[in-house]
Amino acid sequence: MIYGYESWLRFKFIQMGLKARVFPQVQSRVRRRTRLKGLNDGRAMYVLGYGLAYATARVVVNMREQPADSVRALAGYLSHGDLERCDIAGWVGARQKRQFTRKVRQRLARLL
């Protein structure tokens, strides 16, 4: 199993200086149900290099709409076992840290 392969592809393009776009109007259907929804999302976050603070914040944000999957995602991140991080994990982790820090600063500025 390759956790987070869609995200890996997007991040790899961006890391290489290419542009990646999301087309929300394009719809797709998953033909095979994901048995471990949430758990695999957490494992993918670990493999891709997400930091614990970023992964936890992402889980908290999604908690209201998907409480069970959010708890499983955090469990998957924390219980990653012997999974190896992918080749772009350091780059993704640094990028997520910058984004997380920027968003926290923005939220704090709104409060003050």
Q: What is the DSSP string of 42-95?
A: HHHHHHHT--HHHHHHHHHHHTTT-HHHHHHHHHHHHT-TTPPP-TTHHHHHHH
Cα–Cα distance for residue pair 23/110, rounded to 1 Å: 30
Flag whether pLDDT at 105 surpasses 90: yes
Structural domain includes residue 22 = no
The tokens describing 61, both together, are 């944000």
Whether the predicted pLDDT of 61 surpasses 70: yes
User: For residue 85, is it within any domain?
Assistant: yes
CA–CA distance, 15 with 27 (Å, rounded to integer) = 26
Residue 28 lies in a domain: no
Assess if residue 74 is contained within a domain.
Answer: yes
Q: Is residue 68 part of a domain?
A: yes
Residue 79 lies in a domain: yes
User: Does the structure show a pLDDT above 70 at 34?
Assistant: no
Residue 25 domain flag = no
Q: State the chain's mean pLDDT as an integer.
A: 87
Dihedral pair phi/psi, residue 71, rounded to 5°: -65, -45
pTM value is: 0.77
The domain tally of the chain equals 1
DSSP state letter for 34: -
**Domain carrying residue 58:** 7-16+35-111
Residue 47 lies in a domain: yes
Tokens of 33: 């149900």
pLDDT value at residue 78: 95
